Amino acid sequence: MQSKPRVNGSIRLPWAEENSKQHSLRRRPQFQFNPTIQPKYKTKPSDPTSRRTWKEADSTPRRLFLRLRLLLAASTESPIGPACRYKSQRDPHLNLLESSSSCLVASAGGFYCLEPETVPFASPVSWIFLWLAAGWFGWLLEPESVCRWELVGSSGRMVAAVMTAEQVVAALREECATPASRLDEVAAAMADEMAAGLAEEGGSKIKMIVSYVDNLPNGSEEGLFYALDLGGTNFRVLRVQLAGRERRVVKRDTREVSIPPHLMSGNSSELFGFIASVLAKFVEDEGHSAMFSDKQRELGFTFSFPVRQTSITSGTLIKWTKAFSIDDAVGEDVVAELQTAMEKQGLDMRVSALINDTVGTLAAGSYYDEDVVVGVILGTGSNAAYVEKAIAIPKLEGELPKSGNMVINTEWGNFSSSCLPITEFDQALDKESLNPGEQIFEKLISGMYLGEIVRRVLLKISSRCSIFGNVDQIKLNTQFILRTPDISAMHHDQTPDLRIVAEKLADNLKITDTSLETRKMVVEICDIVTRRSARLAAAGIVGILRKIGRGTPGHNRKSVVAIDGGLYEHYTEFRQCLESTLTELLGEDASKSVAVKLANDGSGLGAALIAAAHSQYLN
């Protein structure tokens, strides 16, 4: 297998299917303000006057009229102060404050230069008024600034609305900023929290769960094994035929089923009953198999929630994350629950391994490439697992494993630190979530939340101004109505008129009447939110690498990070940003020893592999 040493440019592991479409996406230049080149905002395309050029306004009365309209707009739609501050950042020609203050300075200068007694208006105050009036009049007539009249368009209200919206975006941009210095702090805080979590149970918000996987698969695994992968709105059952070192995975069958939403917040026996029934049907459909006439089927159970493991085949649920909330399952042994449900279905199958999806990704990654040391999930939720030295785990009880290693499921989703860039939108999202105060890192970076953060930003803009026209507030107020695949589609929109953005806004939020500039602004919001997510995820990975002394200058041993999850796989901008950020943080030199790989479906395959490695039929 060919592999690249650099992190920028991911390589897929052999089982990953190439998605040529995602690679063909060209990188879209970022939307940036440049008031000196062309007028930034136009009125809505449906507005007939928006297509007028400034030449049409190149007459004194017309200019005067437009200037007065602008003044009116600024004073009716938005508070004059913020409007002026906005203008001073964006377009000095339209800056009322600047204009009036320069008049003040000029009048003061004039007052000192002239002898008050030698002029007819002797009082300094009247001089100031005179100069001010002249300044305002000059501003109204100044032709240079009128070339900006497209900014005003036919509707003064629209201009002020755009300015208000842009203020929200500018604040978001600033609050979501993740310069390298901040990311270094995040990586350092992550590494510290990891050490604290390894020291003692409850030592950190990051649980650092001992997985009881002390050996990763090496290719020698053989036999037919099953896997059950539960962690998102869908779950999958797999049947995997392993044929040893030479032939590896010779056959794999998968069935994916979506979980009815009511089961995600119902009770435990209903959820496990449903899953076991699908599994039983999957087995029944394969017909009679002589292979299992004298032995039990064996299953690797990927359960992608924080579980306190007590052995490789048992673990109690600490809490639910993502969209799950089934109270009676918390504190219970999830393997026992599944085993009972399978028995009720008359299914003779043994759970021979309970793992987290990150552990599965790590195992599947190292099955094909022994340099894989970290497994990361960037999908609906987010988390990472890695290989730790057993002696570096003070809380590990009993004998140290023979391999000297132990796979740790970090549960980094629960990481939080004062160095994280958290906005009012994140705070509100957290407060209204199923698990307030928890999974803060996950809420900033994972696929479940990115679309929701963007929706909240759009909602704020829409509540402040009329940039989206007449909007159905019910849609915009509906939580999770904008999903991460939607923002990915908008973010990657390559059409000249951002048609896909228009469609997504219309289909999801019933926002049907937007100008091109408004759509560009929406793309920028997606970009800000997604870049923050990708850069923070990269910082998390760097934190883990630093914790195990990898990816440092002079360290030549190759370290591969296997990543699975739809966010990383399908969101090209996200993936590219994560990879370039890794290089930025590790440095050109050190990053040569680090590679990232897409471990597509690693969690399912990994469960089957670990089940094989812990088979009851092994000598």
Provide the binding-site residues for ligand BGC, judged by CB under 6 A: 231, 304-306, 321-322, 356-358, 377, 379, 381-383, 411, 413, 442
Nearer Cβ to ligand BGC (371/564): 564
Q: Tell me which of 304, 352, 533, 593 is the catalytic residue.
A: 304
What's the N-to-C CA distance of the chain in angstroms?
Answer: 32
Contact between 214 and 422 under an 8 Å Cβ cutoff? The reply is no
Query: How is residue 368 written in tokens?
Result: 């094909």
Nearer Cβ to ligand BGC (95/446): 446
How far apart (Å, rounded) are the C-alpha atoms in residues 351 and 197?
28
Q: What residues are paired with 12 via a beta bridge?
A: 598
How far apart (Å, rounded) are the C-alpha atoms in residues 592 and 598?
18
Residue whose C-alpha is closest to residue 3's, from 586, 604, 558: 558
- Residue 236 falls in the annotated catalytic set: yes
Q: Closest distance between ligand BGC and the C-beta of residue 408, in Å?
A: 12
Q: Tell me which of 357, 486, 527, 601 is the catalytic residue.
A: 357
Burial 448-470 (b: 16+ CB within 10 A, else e): bbbbbbbbbbbbbbbeebbbbbe
- Residue 51 falls in the annotated catalytic set: no
How far apart (Å, rounded) are the C-alpha atoms in residues 198 and 185?
20
Q: Closest distance between ligand BGC and the C-beta of residue 105, in Å?
A: 58
Q: Closest distance between ligand BGC and the C-beta of residue 413, in Å?
A: 5
Q: Closest distance between ligand BGC and the C-beta of residue 201, in Å?
A: 17
Other beta carbons within 10 angstroms of residue 371's beta carbon come to 18
**Tokens 């760097």, located at residue:** 542
Q: Tell me which of 63, 90, 236, 239 is the catalytic residue.
A: 236
| Cα maximum dimension of the chain | 118
Nearer Cβ to ligand BGC (334/522): 334
Q: Closest distance between ligand BGC and the C-beta of residue 604, in Å?
A: 12
Alpha helices in 285-431 (DSSP H): 334-344, 357-368, 424-431
Nearer Cβ to ligand BGC (322/558): 322
Q: Closest distance between ligand BGC and the C-beta of residue 203, in Å?
A: 18
Q: Closest distance between ligand BGC and the C-beta of residue 528, in Å?
A: 23
Contact between 199 and 588 under an 8 Å Cβ cutoff? The reply is no
Cβ-based neighbours of 256, under 8 Å, separated by 6 or more: 234, 235, 236
CA angle 481, 485, 487 (to 5 degrees): 75
Nearer Cβ to ligand BGC (306/315): 306
Query: How is residue 186 written in tokens?
Result: 């995040």
Q: Closest distance between ligand BGC and the C-beta of residue 603, in Å?
A: 8
Three-state secondary structure readout of 36-74: CCCCCCCCCCCCHHHHCCHHHHCCHHHHHHHHHHHHHHH
Q: Closest distance between ligand BGC and the C-beta of residue 605, in Å?
A: 15
How far apart (Å, rounded) are the C-alpha atoms in residues 241 and 222?
7
How far apart (Å, rounded) are the C-alpha atoms in residues 576 and 465?
34
Q: Closest distance between ligand BGC and the C-beta of residue 537, in Å?
A: 12
Burial of 121 per CB tally in 10 Å (0-12, 13-18, 19+)? exposed
Nearer Cβ to ligand BGC (365/379): 379
Q: What residues are paired with 225 via a beta bridge?
A: 240
How far apart (Å, rounded) are the C-alpha atoms in residues 381 and 361?
14
Q: Closest distance between ligand BGC and the C-beta of residue 448, in Å?
A: 8
Q: Is the dihedral of CA 524, 525, 526, 530 positive or negative?
A: positive
Residue whose C-alpha is closest to residue 537's, from 204, 178, 222, 224: 178
- Residue 357 falls in the annotated catalytic set: yes
Q: How many Cα neighbours within 13 Å face the side chain of 52?
A: 22
How far apart (Å, rounded) are the C-alpha atoms in residues 145 and 356?
61
Q: Closest distance between ligand BGC and the C-beta of residue 325, in Å?
A: 12
Nearest residue to ligand BGC by CB is 381
Nearer Cβ to ligand BGC (231/606): 231
Contact between 8 and 580 under an 8 Å Cβ cutoff? The reply is yes
Nearer Cβ to ligand BGC (66/230): 230
How far apart (Å, rounded) are the C-alpha atoms in residues 376 and 290?
38
Nearer Cβ to ligand BGC (551/602): 602
Residue whose C-alpha is closest to residue 384's, from 544, 232, 517: 544
Nearer Cβ to ligand BGC (223/606): 606
Q: Enumerate long-range contacts of 67-75, CB under 8 Å, 24 or more apart.
A: 67/139, 67/140, 67/141, 67/146, 68/140, 69/152, 69/156, 70/94, 70/152, 70/156, 70/159, 71/96, 72/156, 73/152, 73/155, 73/156, 73/157, 73/158, 73/159, 73/160, 74/156, 74/159, 74/160
Nearer Cβ to ligand BGC (167/321): 321
Nearer Cβ to ligand BGC (153/413): 413
As annotated, the active-site residues are 236, 304, 357
